[in-house]
Amino acid sequence: MGKSLWEEALVEEVIYLIAHLAHAEQHLMELEGETKLEDLIIYIDELRNRRKSVGNLLFSILEVSGESGGEFRSKVESLWCTLKHLSMAMVHCDESAEKVIRRLDCAMAQGREEEAKRLSEKLKELYDLRQALRNSIRELLFEVSKKLTKGPAVRCREDLCVLEGEENALQGPERVSQEA
């Protein structure tokens, strides 16, 4: 399948969707850790399941497939995990750039030219890093994914794989409230 402009745009939006779902999940895990509110675990699981669904959607759009299950993660599952972390890194890079921009604006408004120049250089470094992350994601999705063959790879397959007994797992807050 040749990559068309709409496909690239769709894939990029799906990557951001994955990153934001993972980021929201991370914030809830931090909150749960601080407050010990076990009610949040249901929402964390729901976000994780939605992120896995989006990952499956992404791979179906790109026609990437591979075996899952077993003791070891497949190559496709390894790719998924890498993409998840790269997408989160890209979002964190964006957030870091926003913070540097705020400091840069303040330095410029106060006439601190040396600090503004230093911050401008740091901002350029962040933008270069972001572009490198974006290029890595693009290459992994549009080039490397097509070269993967089925077979075992490395350990750690929590996200994309189908868990045994998943049909008995919590299905989200609406299901729990119905059963309570």
Question: What is the spatial distance between Cα 94 and Cα 68, in angstroms, rounded to a whole number?
Answer: 32
Greater confidence (69 vs 111) lies with 111
CA angle 82, 62, 87 (to 5 degrees): 30
Greater confidence (21 vs 74) lies with 21
Question: What is the spatial distance between Cα 84 and Cα 76, in angstroms, rounded to a whole number?
Answer: 12
Question: What is the spatial distance between Cα 85 and Cα 114, in angstroms, rounded to a whole number?
Answer: 35
Q: Is 111 exposed, middle or buried (0-12, 13-18, 19+ CB in 10 A)?
A: exposed
Q: Please, are residues 66 and 74 in contact by the beta-carbon 8 Å criterion?
A: yes
When pLDDT is cut at 50, 70 and 90, the band that residue 173 belongs to is: very low
3-state SS class at 74: strand
In which domain, by residue range, is 53 found? Answer: 5-179
**Residue 37 has what pLDDT?**
85
When pLDDT is cut at 50, 70 and 90, the band that residue 105 belongs to is: very high
Residues 116-142, mean pLDDT to the nearest whole number: 95
Q: Please, are residues 28 and 41 in contact by the beta-carbon 8 Å criterion?
A: no
pLDDT digits (tens, 9 = 90+) for 15-71: 999 999 999 999 999 999 899 888 888 999 999 999 989 988 888 888 887 665 555
The number of distinct structural domains making up the chain is 1
